[in-house]
Each structure stands twice: as C-alpha cells, then as structure tokens.
Amino acid sequence: MRDTPTSKTIRQLSADRDQTPAIAVRGVVKSYDDVRALRGISVEIRRGDTVALIGPNGAGKSTFVEILMGLRRPDAGEVHVLGHDVLANPKAHVDRIGVQLQESRLFPKLSVREYFNFFSQVFPRHVDIAALCERMSLTPCFDKRIGELSGGQRQRVALALALINDPDIVILDEPTVGLDPIVRREFWRLIRQLGDEGKTVLFTTHYMDEAQALADTVLMISNGRLVAQGSAQHIIDTAHSGNLDDAYTHFATQISLEAA
Ligand SMILES: Nc1ncnc2c1ncn2[C@@H]1O[C@H](COP(=O)(O)OP(=O)(O)OP(=O)(O)O)[C@@H](O)[C@H]1O
C-alpha cells in the first residue's frame, strides 16, 4: 500500500522545515587576487533573529552579504540560505530576500510611485503597496521624485522597497547612516517590528548603540575573520569591557596585532 502522509507527519515536516536555519555558512573563504577578504567564516543564524554585522572598513562585511545573496561565489565553503544551497543554485532563494540599498543609490528623477510599481512587477508575490506606503509614512510623498525627499524619507523608500516581496530575510546596509537622532529611533522601531513579524533581519552598522539596541546576535568581522559572535552582552563579557564600543576596539585591535 502506498504510504500517504498523515496531517501529523505534514505538520512535523513543516515544523522541521521551520527549524532549518535562516542562514548556515561553513568555512567560507574569498579572495580578490591577493586580498583575502574572508578567511574561513562559519556561522548559523536562526530564523526570526535580528543580527548585526559589525566590523571595521574593509573587514569583509559586504563580501559576506554578497555571498549570501548569491552575487559572489566564494573560493571555498558552504552557504545555505533558508535551506537552499546557494552555491548549487544562486537564484533559488532570491525572491525570499529583501535588500535595502543605500538611499544614495536611488535615482533622484524617479518618483516613489515609479519605484514601487517597478519593484512590484519584479516580484510575483508582493505586499499591498498602499498599505506598505502607509506603514512607512510615505503616502504623502507617493508622487514626489526621490530628489525632492528628505534623507529620512529616501531611507524609508529604500526600506519599503526591501519589503515589497514580503521577504523572510531582510538585509539592511547601514540603515540609519546620516539620519538625525529622531528619525534614527523611528527606524529602530521599524526594524524591531520586522523582528516581531518573525522576519530574519541582518543589518550592517558602524553604530555600536544600534547593534546593542536591536540585535539578538552580533557578528563581529575583522580582517576576514569572525572574531566574536553572540549577544551584545556576551561579547562585552568575553572582552571584559564595559560596553560594545570597547569590546569592538578590543577584538579589532587584537586581530590587527595578530595580522601585523
Ligand atoms: N571587487 C573587489 N575587488 C578587489 N578587492 C575587493 C573587492 N571588493 C572588496 N575588496 C577588498 O576586500 C576586502 C573586504 O572588502 P569588503 O567590501 O567586503 O569589506 P567591508 O567590511 O564591507 O568594508 P566597508 O565597511 O568599507 O564597506 C577589502 O580589502 C576590499 O578592499
């Protein structure tokens, strides 16, 4: 007799699938000619976690994120995103990821409406545009050009575009850079909401207070290596420092001295 799955086994299968890490990376190495950008990164990120990726300029953060997105191929290692083997099929996961570009990369002459229309055509599954605009407080600027908006509004457009396909993983590149303290806090609220909705959020930042305030897990990359990972408090305790700023300096300096 053919084995038909019961509803229990289907539920179990779906529960098992949900336990697949959002991101699982093992032994990832990447060089650009003689520059060793990543020197063996291994990390697992649980679904629904908010993760801050921090590290000095040139540490390898962008290379790491680009590999997760399937835009760059590592020289060695394994990369799984939402259970998909990214190296075997770099496109299988792309419609489940949302990426916030730096607002400065948006074309100033296009309107918010044109951007939203374009992005919603790109993705077969997308959220209700009017509701997304409302949530991002962009309804009054819907027909304005990007060049007419304030920095905070442009950044909200960039975040909204990352959410258009209702992604499971949201990647944010320095989401609050250049924003005033009030708008920055507003962004923190929006990012927390994404976590509350069960989305996995991975953001890069140079602001330690931001990493501390938002992240369940902080990944600290220095010179192509993952030098610390865990909650902000765990990293602070490991470095025997009083705050994340000092812990960051501690680990980054340690690695620079080892590399010298
Ligand atoms: N396309 C490339 N060709 C050659 N070298 C590169 C390329 N992209 C990055 N690199 C080098 O690889 C190293 C890691 O760069 P990466 O951009 O990943 O670091 P980052 O942590 O994102 O830096 P930043 O915070 O400045 O954006 C750096 O030494 C950088 O100069």
The per-residue pLDDT for 4 is: 42
How confident is the model at residue 13, as a pLDDT?
Answer: 47
Summarised one tens digit per residue, pLDDT across range 107-118 is: 999 999 999 999
Cβ–ligand 1 contact at 70 (below 6 Å): no
Question: Among 3.20.20.80, 3.40.50.880, 3.40.50.300, 3.30.70.270, what is the CATH number of 21-259?
Answer: 3.40.50.300
Specify the pairing of strand 23-32 against strand 35-45: antiparallel
Q: What is the structure's pLDDT at 211?
A: 95
* pLDDT attached to residue 94: 85
pLDDT value of residue 257: 62
Our answer on whether the CB atom of 58 is closer than 6 Å to any ligand 1 atom is: yes
In the chain, which residues have pLDDT < 50? 1-8, 10-11, 13-16
Q: Does an H or E element contain 161, and which?
A: helix 151-163
The pLDDT value given to residue 5: 42
58 CA to middle of ligand 1, Å?
5
Span from the CA of 37 to the centroid of ligand 1 (angstroms): 7
User: How far away, in angstroms, is 51 Cα from ligand 1 center?
Assistant: 20
pLDDT of residue 259: 63
Q: Which of 38, 62, 68 to mutate to test ligand 1, by most ligand atoms within 8 A of the CB atom? A: 62
Which residue minimizes the CA distance to atom 11 of ligand 1? 37
Give strand ranges (E) for 119-224.
Answer: 169-173, 200-204, 217-222
Predicted ipTM > 0.95: yes
Q: Tell me which residue has its CA closest to atom 31 in ligand 1.
A: 58
The pTM for the full model equals 0.89
Task: Give all strands (DSSP E) within the chain, no chain letters.
Answer: 23-32, 35-45, 50-54, 76-81, 84-85, 97-100, 169-173, 200-204, 217-222, 225-230
Q: Which ligand 1 atom is at minimum distance from the Cα of 38?
A: 14
Query: Which amino acid is present at 114?
Result: E
Q: Whose CA is nearest to atom 28 of ligand 1?
A: 58
> Tokens for 76?
């060695």
Q: Is 32 in the pocket of ligand 1 (CB under 6 A)?
A: yes
Give Cα separations from 249 to 27, 239, 240, 252, 253 (angstroms). 25, 10, 12, 5, 6
